[in-house]
A and B are shown apart, each in its own frame.
Chain A
């Protein structure tokens, strides 16, 4: 199932298990999920609702709230260490700094009472001791890089004052502000119109090339995955269904579930 890799992966997840505490007792949400993220490549994690794909993304930096989280086991190897063993303060140094997140709904992920500029500057200065002015200049560069026009003006805008597409770009800018090695994007284009989605996917492709980033891209949309991912992990009910390179999975899917999903996007009404 796994393809050969010559270089050491930048992130390696081995036998990740996540258990929740529910009214009906303990529930295994993720069951021995394993994958590798290669440097400068994109891993797409795909599944329908309830597949556990968002939980997988959140578990990398231990962002699952407890309750309902009961326990996590396995290994998440980053730069030679197992992130699952990290203390809160150790994780804080990694979050945003080395591994950054982008979420689906920028309106709830962005702080509505802070300007875009403030949020970027706050993120930068949380991990770097530079002056406010230097941080602001960096913020302008970042906004330009993500394709936001009139960046100096935008710094002063509040999230609700700008459009959905721009908010998503702003969120990407915040995520990039500390030059992270890994970007974890959870359904970043799902809430966007299809033309804006195309723009944002274009931006992702540009960032991968220009910054040499490694990205984990979580989505239910196989079409988006086809556009952007190098490798693909298909989840269903917390279990790995298929894990291989994108070409292999799309042209020669092994598991009937994957085959069914692919047929749905290629064909029309079944």
Chain B
């Protein structure tokens, strides 16, 4: 069976959480976390998903890995609707899609030994003790951990090592897609680069597709093939990663890039365009383009109509902005 070009295809995906109030717990409002996402994850690529807190990127990850259900819209996994995947098929699904989380400390069960944390992923498939042991040892080797790690507990390891245990746990089933939700933000700077390099080499070895969720634009620009920028539950721009820092077009993306602290103190005197205001609350979503209140280039239409994500003709660049349409 040949695999489709897109591992995940999302069409108009919406996720709203109801706010219940009063004695009878009636719905008094909604938290509109995701508001119409059209997005695809191409097989074999490293796709980055960036945005600031509250943009919905972590919720999107939870939707993809079936920890949450979408309110409306379709999510296709290898052309199959995600909400139809249940029971035995769901168990299979988790051999194809795996996730690593942000906090290496809380993503490992403190009461389980490493061999069980990593091994149980294949144990539940019924491979037998011998096969399990062999696979565990092999994957631990691949993430550059010592063999004697198997009998130790998570708290005996450093943050960077714990994250590698988490990577081992995710990759032991040899998934098609690895969702990495801020995998290095909690690590020291020197470890961040090491861990991302490891992920890159593992990607080649296991023929992985990776979805990297991060708020760190520089890392994403370096590490990913293509990048999607999220704001208030929508994708506002999607473009090749090597164009992110220099050729982005959406005012929000531009603001994000200009907010990154410069690394040369002598450049300090240059006046930077610091974007004003704060992100509106997802409970009280402004009409029209979600960014219009803070956009330096806004005009009337932006307040009223939501811009669609459109592909610039002739380019591999999608943009949701009236400025350039």
**Contact between chain A and chain B defined by CB under 8 Å:** yes
Chain A residues proximal to chain B, CB less than 8 Å: 48-49, 163-166, 193-199, 201-202, 220-224, 226-227, 229, 246-247, 250-251, 260-262, 264-266, 268-270
B99 to A: closest C-beta gap in Å: 21
Which candidate, B57-65, B67-75, B149-157, B267-275, is the interface stretch facing chain A?
A: B267-275
Q: Is the CB of B190 within 8 A of A260?
A: yes
Encoded as 1 (CB less than 8 Å from any A CB) or 0, chain B from 189 to 228 comes to: 1101110110010000000000000010111011100000
Chain A, Cβ-Cβ closest to B189: A264
Can you spell out 26 A-B residue pairs with CB atoms less than 8 angstroms apart? A48-B188, A48-B189, A48-B190, A163-B278, A163-B279, A165-B278, A166-B278, A193-B53, A193-B279, A195-B259, A195-B275, A197-B261, A198-B275, A199-B274, A221-B261, A226-B264, A226-B268, A250-B264, A260-B190, A264-B189, A264-B192, A264-B193, A266-B263, A268-B219, A269-B223, A270-B193
Q: Is the CB of A223 within 8 A of B262?
A: yes
Question: For B215, what are the chain A residues with a Cβ–Cβ distance below 8 Å?
Answer: 193-194
Interface of B is mostly: helix
Chain B, Cβ-Cβ closest to A257: B190
Interface of A is mostly: helix
Q: Name the contact of A250 in the complex, choosing from B190, B256, B265, B275 (C-beta under 8 A).
A: B265
Q: Would A198 and B272 be within 8 Å (CB), given that A223-B263, A268-B223 are in contact?
A: yes
CB of B260 closer than 8 Å to a CB of A: yes
Chain A, Cβ-Cβ closest to B191: A48
CB of B255 closer than 8 Å to a CB of A: yes
CB of B324 closer than 8 Å to a CB of A: no
Q: Would A197 and B259 be within 8 Å (CB), given that A269-B193, A270-B193, A270-B197 are in contact?
A: yes
Q: Is the CB of B189 within 8 A of A247?
A: no
Sorted nearest first, the 9 A-B pairs with minimum C-beta distance are A268-B222, A223-B261, A193-B52, A198-B259, A270-B193, A48-B188, A246-B265, A195-B259, A227-B261
Question: For A251, what are the chain B residues with a Cβ–Cβ distance below 8 Å?
Answer: 266
Query: Given the complex of chains A and B, what is the CA–CA distance between A194 and B219 in angstroms?
Result: 14
Q: Is the CB of B262 within 8 A of A227?
A: yes
Q: Name the contact of A226 in the complex, choosing from B190, B222, B265, B274 (C-beta under 8 A).
A: B265
Chain A, Cβ-Cβ closest to B159: A49
Q: Which of B236-263 contact A (CB under 8 A)?
A: 255-256, 258-263
Q: Is the CB of B268 within 8 A of A265?
A: no
Q: Name the contact of B266 in the complex, choosing from A202, A222, A247, A270 (C-beta under 8 A).
A: A247
Q: Is the CB of B275 within 8 A of A220?
A: no
Q: Name the contact of A269 in the complex, choosing from B196, B217, B259, B274 (C-beta under 8 A).
A: B196
Q: Name the contact of A220 in the complex, choosing from B188, B219, B260, B272 (C-beta under 8 A).
A: B188
Question: For A193, what are the chain B residues with a Cβ–Cβ distance below 8 Å?
Answer: 52-53, 215, 279
Question: For A229, what are the chain B residues with a Cβ–Cβ distance below 8 Å?
Answer: 265
Chain B, Cβ-Cβ closest to A194: B259
A218 to B: closest C-beta gap in Å: 15
Query: Given the complex of chains A and B, what is the CA–CA distance between A96 and B188 in angstroms?
Result: 31
Question: For B259, what are the chain A residues with a Cβ–Cβ distance below 8 Å?
Answer: 194-195, 197-198
Question: For B189, what are the chain A residues with a Cβ–Cβ distance below 8 Å?
Answer: 48, 220, 222, 261, 264-265
Query: Given the complex of chains A and B, what is the CA–CA distance between A9 and B268 in angstroms?
Result: 24
Query: Given the complex of chains A and B, what is the CA–CA distance between A227 and B263 in angstroms?
Result: 7
Q: Name the contact of B260 in the complex, choosing from A194, A247, A262, A268 (C-beta under 8 A).
A: A194
Question: For B190, what are the chain A residues with a Cβ–Cβ distance below 8 Å?
Answer: 48, 260-261, 264
A230 to B: closest C-beta gap in Å: 9
Query: Given the complex of chains A and B, what is the CA–CA distance between A193 and B230 in angstroms?
Result: 13
A42 to B: closest C-beta gap in Å: 11
Query: Given the complex of chains A and B, what is the CA–CA distance between A201 and B259 in angstroms?
Result: 10
Query: Given the complex of chains A and B, what is the CA–CA distance between A269 and B279 in angstroms?
Result: 30
Q: Is the CB of B188 within 8 A of A195?
A: no
Query: Given the complex of chains A and B, what is the CA–CA distance between A196 and B261 in angstroms?
Result: 12
